[in-house]
Amino acid sequence: MKLNEFNNAFQIEQQCLAYIANLKENKCIRCFNFNLNTSDLKRMRCLKCNQTFSILTGTIF
């Protein structure tokens, strides 16, 4: 993807975060539970172990 294509596809930060969230398996980094509170795309919280982490945890970012 070229830079101008990237800028057109992800004009705001929320679009980029939503794309990353769709690529990842949304599971807890500690207990691997799939029940997460994802009301905010930047921060996620596991409903089982209460671990809070970023959507970018475990990525190159």
What is the number of domains present in the chain?
1
Please give the pLDDT value at position 57. 83
Element (H, E) at 9: helix 3-9
Q: Is position 50 within any domain?
A: yes
**How much is the pTM?**
0.63
| pLDDT tens-digit series, residues 14-55 | 888 888 877 777 788 889 888 888 777 778 889 999 998 888
How does the average pLDDT of the chain come out, rounded?
A: 83
CA 41 from centre of chain: 6
Q: Is position 59 within any domain?
A: no
Q: What span, in angstroms and rounded, lies between the C-alpha atoms of 46 and 36?
A: 5
Residue 44 sits in a domain whose CATH number is 2.30.30
Of 15, 48, 51, residue with least CA distance to 7: 15
Q: Is position 23 within any domain?
A: yes
Would you call 28 exposed, middle or buried from its count of C-beta atoms within 10 A (0-12, 13-18, 19+)? buried
Domain range for 23 is: 3-54
| 36 contacts 49 by C-beta, under 8 angstroms | no
Q: Is position 13 within any domain?
A: yes
